[in-house]
Amino acid sequence: MPGTLLSLGHGYSARALARRLVPQGWTVIGTTRDASKAERLRAEGVEPIAWDRDAIAEAVGRATHILVSAGPDAEGDPSLRIARDAIEARVPELWWVGYLSTTGVYGDHHGAWVDEATPLTPGTARGIARVEAEAEWGAIPHLPLHVFRLAGIYGPGRGPFEKVRRGTARRIVKPGQVFSRIHVDDIAQVLEASIHHPNPGAVYNVCDDDPAPPQDVIADAADLLGVPRPPEVAFEDAELSPMAESFYAESKRVSNDRIKEELGVELLYPDYRAGLRAMLDSDSGA
């Protein structure tokens, strides 16, 4: 039976979930800090509300499900700051709460495989903040919490094609470096599967089947566009920003067995090659 989903931080992944739920008769309430985005949300069938304590408290009172997409900031988890009291009061009526975390909580494993049982040893400030946020959400008594650790997100509007076309893409090579990725539509189907098969306390890695070096993704995008592959650049010579460099500080392969075995998910895009092809064919990610 359709419910009411409150989306705290209604961004890229949450919008993809809403596209699946709204046609099924769900009420989706999405927060926004930008009033100019309200009309776009309404056009997508989402009820927009401001990032305001009273407005969110009222929405929590109607919600059967809550999705938390807003990441931690310098002061911790913003959703807990603004809505903890309302959520704690609503716990008996909540059917499902999803928290979108990151595979960065595992830290660097030098290319080895990790799964949901791997100890959390984050090596970046962002990863540490996510571990703390996961723990803070998990400390709310009886909250039907489900944690989703997302790999690198791509999809329509978030692909390598535009950089390749502009000639600004670089194939940065750091020997042994691999990343796991996930198409936004596969994030949405994992979340929907969990909503239909809740398991409070569960943690899921959300990634595709094929961890790969980042330079391979750029090369494949160039091949699909029929343009020359950008030249390789050694990591040491790349002169990356501190933020970009931090992504190369960790290398691991993330197992997605649990979303398949427990939730029955069959990935729409089991590797980046399938995802890039679909994006180019639709023109929406190109």
Reading the chain (286 residues) residue by residue, the pLDDT tens digits are 799 999 999 999 999 999 999 999 999 999 998 878 899 999 999 999 999 999 999 999 999 999 999 999 999 999 999 999 999 999 999 999 999 999 999 999 999 999 999 999 999 999 999 999 999 999 999 999 999 999 999 999 898 998 899 999 999 999 999 999 999 999 999 999 999 999 999 999 999 999 999 999 999 999 999 999 999 999 999 999 888 888 898 999 999 999 999 999 999 999 999 999 999 988 644 4
CB atoms inside a 10 Å sphere around CB 135: 10
Q: What single DSSP character describes residue 92?
A: G
Distance in angstroms (rounded) separating the CA atoms of residues 147 and 253:
19
Chain centre to alpha carbon of residue 108: 19
**Per-residue CA distances from 116 to 23, 44, 260, 262 (Å):** 32, 34, 13, 13
Q: Do 43 and 22 form a contact (C-beta atoms < 8 A)?
A: no
- Select from 149, 147, 121, 150 the least CA-distant residue to 136: 147
Q: What single DSSP character describes residue 62?
A: H
Second-level CATH architecture of 4-156+181-208+254-268: 3-Layer(aba) Sandwich (3.40)
Q: Please list, in sequence order, all residues whose beta carbon lies within 8 angstroms of the beta carbon of residue 279, skipping any fewer than 6 positions away.
A: 155, 156, 159, 161, 285, 286
Q: State which amino acid sits at residue 245.
A: E
Q: Please list, in sequence order, all residues whose beta carbon lies within 8 angstroms of the beta carbon of residue 260, skipping any fewer than 6 positions away.
A: 266
- pTM for the structure as a whole: 0.95
Q: Please list, in sequence order, all residues whose beta carbon lies within 8 angstroms of the beta carbon of residue 68, skipping any fewer than 6 positions away.
A: 8, 9, 79, 97, 98, 99, 100, 137
Q: What single DSSP character describes residue 36?
A: G
Q: Do 112 and 252 form a contact (C-beta atoms < 8 A)?
A: yes
